[in-house]
């Protein structure tokens, strides 16, 4: 089982500073428990600036809990979390979070445009109405994800893929530096997945950092440059080229993946990466 050194290499080839103070999200010794059952135990992870990170692991590994605990959505028993070298509360305006679709009340009476405008509440204020400038910005974000024509449709009337695009548009409206997404491709159609990936890669090309809880191992090598393999504990973390290996996948998933499947995924990842050089 291999562990990457703290000094990491981004997809564009530049060396990323290992210092926690430079990291968009740094986690140290994070432990979370639901009742008496530990969901995460002493997890460390320093997100490289400007990276696209996949958090992968089996069901029940604590992937969603990790990002929720890091963002203060669920309590942690122990551990330290900093964002851009500061306490999360001080820099939350620099971070956009997209939750799992399953965790959202889609019966809430709001249009797609309303949902995107909600992403601007820190700028607008809770007790003020959105102005023309804010509504225009929200419409532009819907346009970026191909949903402008659905701006006035009730969110509950949209398909799963359309709902996910709207929530991505809400995150775009925040103009964040770090985007944290929980299963953004779960239950969406192929066209929506391509659209989301395109927007995320565009953001990453602008220097934004992307962290996604991800379930499809076959697309890790295509979508991300870094990976965190998790199963209650951190199994391995680092560049896909050196971390997304058969050994680490087997250690993460155990018998839940056939050994032939693990080796095929790792070999395909290695050959894809090699073809880029």
Tell me the C-alpha to C-alpha distance, in Å, between residue 84 and each of 24, 53, 98, 274. Answer: 4, 16, 19, 32
Distance CA 3, CA 233 (A): 13
What is the reported pLDDT for 265? 62
| Total residues belonging to the chain | 277
What is the reported pLDDT for 105? 72
Decide: pTM greater than 0.75.
yes
For domain 19-254+263-272, give the CATH number. 3.40.50.300
Q: Is 9 helix (H, G, I), strand (E, B) or coil?
A: strand
Residue numbers of the chain with a pLDDT score lower than 50: 1-18, 260, 273
CB 222 within 8 A of CB 269: no
Tell me the C-alpha to C-alpha distance, in Å, between residue 38 and each of 30, 72, 164, 227. Answer: 11, 17, 30, 23
What is the reported pLDDT for 252? 95
What is the reported pLDDT for 15? 40
Q: Is 80 helix (H, G, I), strand (E, B) or coil?
A: strand
- Alpha helices of the chain — where are they, by DSSP H? 63-70, 88-91, 112-118, 121-124, 132-144, 160-173, 190-205, 220-223, 240-243, 246-253, 259-275
What is the reported pLDDT for 134? 80
Ordered by start, the domain boundaries in the chain are 19-254+263-272
Q: Alpha-carbon torsion 134, 139, 143, 146, what sign?
A: positive
């Amino acid at each position: 089982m291999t562990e990457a050194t703290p000094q990491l290499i981004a997809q564009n080839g530049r060396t990323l500073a290992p210092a926690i103070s430079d990291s968009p999200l740094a986690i140290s010794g994070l432990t979370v428990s639901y009742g008496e059952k530990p969901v995460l135990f002493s997890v460390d992870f320093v997100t490289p600036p400007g990276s696209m990170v996949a958090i992968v692991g089996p069901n029940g590994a604590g992937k969603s809990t990790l990002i929720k605990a890091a963002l203060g959505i669920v309590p942690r028993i122990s551990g330290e979390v900093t964002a851009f070298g500061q306490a999360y509360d001080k820099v939350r305006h620099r971070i956009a979070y997209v939750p799992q679709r399953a965790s959202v009340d889609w019966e809430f009476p709001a249009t797609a445009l309303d949902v995107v405008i909600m992403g601007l509440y820190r700028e607008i204020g809770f007790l003020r109405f959105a102005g023309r400038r804010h509504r225009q910005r929200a419409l532009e974000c819907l346009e970026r994800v191909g949903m402008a024509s659905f701006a006035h449709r009730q969110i509950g009337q949209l398909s799963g893929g359309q709902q996910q695009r709207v929530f991505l548009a809400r995150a775009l409206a925040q103009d964040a530096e770090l985007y944290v997404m929980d299963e953004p491709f779960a239950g969406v159609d192929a066209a929506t997945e391509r659209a989301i990936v395109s927007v995320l890669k565009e953001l990453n090309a602008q220097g934004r950092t992307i962290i996604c809880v991800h379930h499809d191992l076959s697309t890790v090598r295509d979508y991300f440059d870094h990976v965190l393999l998790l199963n209650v504990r951190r199994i391995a973390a680092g560049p896909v080229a050196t971390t997304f290996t058969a050994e680490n996948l087997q250690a993460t998933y155990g018998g839940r993946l056939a050994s032939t499947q693990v080796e095929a995924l790792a070999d395909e990842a290695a050959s894809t990466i090699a073809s880029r050089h």
